[in-house]
Amino acid sequence: MKLLFVADPLESFKIYKDTTFSMLREAAKRGHQLWTCEVQDLVWRSGGRVVARTARAIALTGDATDWFTVLATSELVLAETDGIVMRKDPPFDSEFFYATHLLSQAEREGARVFNQPAALREHPEKLALMEFPQFCATTLVTRSEAAIRAFHAEQGDIILKPLDGMGGMGIFRVGLDGLNLGAIIETLNKGGTETIMVQRFLPEIAQGDKRVLVIGGEVVPFCLARIPQGGEVRGNLAVGGKGVAQAISARDREIAEAVGPILAARGLLLVGLDVIGDSLTEINVTSPTCFQEITDQTGFDVAKLFVDALERALASPR
């Protein structure tokens, strides 16, 4: 099959841990043709079809440094591929939103896209958990400083985060003393012009922020607990958290088996649930990660499960 991966620049990949790389490697093992492009390559013109203006056909070299070689560079009509894997990292900003519309147009022209672009638009990662309040931590979504201050007074110890971040970017903790709460609110809500998320601080973060993966509605039996290090409150690997793979708990499975099939039915082939203790804190759908860390530590081949699911989805009727 001819597969197009829409991703960040390949030159930026850290292949020892990159999940998109593990997908490419598994697809290459199966003999699929690999094409890649970036979001800015997507173009539509009236009377034509959506194209990737400078798509690259690549082959993997097996080398740890120069890990790919470019076989060809050309304009590629998205509808003439067998499948498209959307792997652009957040932020979920206007450009990401516009890219999903271009991909939706490509779908109308016959392309198959995973995760489906309409589903990406409907499930922004911080806000998607609102549909499942029975599982989520005590949470407030607002741009109101007064509402945030009242939430802090009620909860005592809180986490504040922007809605469009990733990798722990812009996450703050404010304890009982309320130190710097005003400055943090001003920074995140931009003087009341931007909506943010506030959650009750969960002390179980000391045991890790668990990434639970659901692929094609199937729960991966191992998760990656991302454990904060030093004085950090964030467990994200991008800010130095330690990733420890472990079997999912009964509560992790309960959440994943309730949420996963619902999202899979909406076109979300790959979902990453973030669970702290017994509480769901985020639903990641843009480019969930942790494949390689789980596989390296447990031997469970997550990339194989993903490509299996992708192949089944592409073989099924539209």
Catalytic (active-site) positions: 126, 161, 211, 226, 234, 274, 282, 284
Do 202 and 233 form a contact (C-beta atoms < 8 A)? no
Q: Which segments of the chain are extended strands (E)?
A: 2-6, 33-37, 42-43, 51-60, 68-77, 83-86, 113-114, 139-142, 158-162, 172-174, 196-200, 209-215, 218-219, 222-227, 242-247, 270-276, 279-284
Let me know the angle formed at the C-alpha of 14 by 13 and 19, rounded to the nearest 5 degrees.
80
**What percent of the residues of the chain are helix, what percent strand, and what percent coil, each to the nearest 5?**
35, 30, 35
Q: How far apart are CA 69 and CA 58, in angstroms?
A: 6
- What is the per-residue DSSP string for 244-273? EEEEPPHHHHHHHHHHHHHHHHTT-SEEEE
Closest C-alpha among 141, 148, 146 to residue 126: 141
Measured distance CA(220)–CA(270) in Å, rounded? 11
Handedness of CA 228, 234, 235, 239 (dihedral sign): negative
Per the listing, tokens 């792997």 go with 87
